[in-house]
Chain A
Amino acid sequence: MQMDAIEAAAVLARARQGDSDAFRVLVERHSRNVFRLAFRMTGNEQDAEDVVQESFLRAYRQLGRFESRANFGTWLYRIVVNCSVDLMRARQARQAQARIESLDELDVIPTPAEGPGPERLAQSAEIGARVADAMSGLSPLERAAFTLRHYEGRSIDEISRMLGLRTSATKHSVFRAVRKLRIALAVLK
């Protein structure tokens, strides 16, 4: 659904006044992008669906705080990121025993006995599985920071603003995520 800027502003203004039909237009317009980001952040379809719903509910509750001069998509993006982090924290708390806890644990992933070279493996499911394993071992903030930096191409400053972290903390999250991924993928090289 395409809307020009004036129509979009009018819809947003109505939504901010509590017009649920106007909010429905916003939901229909942004849902697919929200799902894409939520899936990249959580790595799980069901979790992504939960994030989509929670993000729109949160956005609706906070519409009064949204400044109409700002970009609704960017504002919503930030909400999605924070909902994803909240969900990952809750999930990690539930699955604390199952997840990979530290670099040390990543270190002991068994080396495949025989296998094709890295060029072939680059396309293989094994890399995907190892990355998924390593990603599930990241803390929610590490995962969020890495996803936003690596997949979404956001700068460290932007990520810091989205996550409400200091720049140094954001960098640290990215560094730790990269180190864990390097260890997980080292055996393939």
Chain B
Amino acid sequence: MTHYTEDDLILYYYGEGRRRGDPSTSSGSPQALWRDDVEHHLETCAACAKAYRALAETLQLVPVIDVPEREESYGLDVWQRIRSRLPEPVVPWWHGWFGWKRLSLAGAAVAIVIGAFVAGRMWPPRAPASPVVAVDPNEAGARVRLAATSDHLDRSERVLLDLMNAEGQTVDLTDQQAWSADLIDSNRLYRDAAARAGDELVANVLDELERSLLEIVHGPSMPKAAELDEVRARVDLAALLFKVRILADELHEREIAPTQPRKIT
């Protein structure tokens, strides 16, 4: 007769394990505990029954934790303690595009373009002036690279956000995998371009991003919640989403006012 271990009995005490006939059992691990088997065994094995009784008696001795009561106004107290320490919230990248400031700036830009067009039509034509400002081809190339990389980061952020916010026992990641596969090739191009330009910061983040994208592509399409949580934990641990978001913002800024790439400290 095979006896159950203390660990098995602890799981049994806490109601863990599956009953025979539960369809989810067939895909379970070899260690899955069959409650029916344990129950039957405890009825027939005096030694295990004694061990179980001892375990149950001890755990029943563990007293209920007496939590100090908090008044109705406690929430307000907490708020007053934290309000001055609230940081800027990290909101989804697309939220910013719908803010009134952005919309009003966009409106102003459209008005200027229309005004310039109308003025151009009404003014008499003049002889074309010779160009006075030469465009540095290196700077133009850098701008193109920054614009393309920041767009790439925006797209990658959306994939990561989908992954981080997926819910449910099993999640279908087929779309995210296809999307990630598309992003991997461009990610390599941008990483290499950043490395050649000496932009260590961008190259490093893109390197980390590639590892996560590869993990998504080569992972299961329908991961279980625990598997998904493991991937999420790794993304979380590396603060990848945060880095991608911050870098995208920085690249947008650099497009407007290009500067020398920062070095990682």
Interface of A with B (CB < 8 Å)?
1, 16-18, 20, 23-24, 27-32, 35-36, 39-40, 43, 45, 52-53, 56-57, 60-67, 69-70, 118, 121-122, 127-128, 131, 149-151, 155-157, 160-161, 164, 166-167, 171, 174-175, 178-179, 181-182, 185-186, 188-189
A62 and chain B: residue at smallest CB distance: B90
Q: State whether A178 touches B10 (Cβ < 8 A).
A: yes
Q: Is B126 an interface residue (CB 8 A)?
A: no
Chain B interface bracket (under 10, 10 to 19, 20 to 34, 35 or more) = 35 or more
Q: Is B110 an interface residue (CB 8 A)?
A: no
B161 and chain A: residue at smallest CB distance: A65
Q: Is B107 an interface residue (CB 8 A)?
A: no
Stretch at the interface among B56-64, B144-152, B192-200: B56-64
List B101-151 residues whose CB lies under 8 Å from chain A: none
User: Nearest-CB distance from A13 to chain B (Å)?
Assistant: 10
Q: Is B70 an interface residue (CB 8 A)?
A: yes
Given contacts A20-B83, A53-B81, A171-B7, contact A60 B89 (CB under 8 A): yes
Residues from chain A with Cβ under 8 Å of B257 in the complex: none
| Chain B at the A interface: SS class | helix
Q: State whether B89 touches A64 (Cβ < 8 A).
A: yes
Specify which of A31, A175, A189 is in contact with B10 (CB 8 Å cutoff).
A175
Which 5 residue pairs are nearest across A and B when measured between Cβ atoms?
A28-B75, A67-B165, A31-B75, A64-B90, A164-B233
Q: Is B250 an interface residue (CB 8 A)?
A: no
Q: A27-B78, A65-B165, A131-B62 are in contact. List 10 more A-B contacts (CB 8 A).
A: A17-B91, A45-B68, A56-B78, A60-B87, A60-B89, A150-B14, A164-B233, A166-B226, A174-B10, A178-B10
Measured between alpha carbons, how far is A122 from B58 in the docked complex, in Å?
A: 10
Q: State whether A63 touches B91 (Cβ < 8 A).
A: yes
User: Nearest-CB distance from A166 to chain B (Å)?
Assistant: 8
List B5-22 residues whose CB lies under 8 Å from chain A: 6-7, 10-11, 14, 16
B166 and chain A: residue at smallest CB distance: A67
Given contacts A56-B82, A174-B10, contact A63 B65 (CB under 8 A): no
Residues from chain A with Cβ under 8 Å of B23 in the complex: none
Measured between alpha carbons, how far is A160 from B68 in the docked complex, in Å?
A: 28
A164 and chain B: residue at smallest CB distance: B233
Specify which of A24, A39, A61, A131 is in contact with B90 (CB 8 Å cutoff).
A61
Residues from chain A with Cβ under 8 Å of B225 in the complex: 157, 161
Residues from chain A with Cβ under 8 Å of B97 in the complex: none
Q: State whether B167 touches A179 (Cβ < 8 A).
A: no
Measured between alpha carbons, how far is A85 from B163 in the docked complex, in Å?
A: 25
Interface string of B63-76 (1 = CB under 8 A from A): 11101101000111
Specify which of A39, A121, A179, A185 is in contact with B68 (CB 8 Å cutoff).
A39
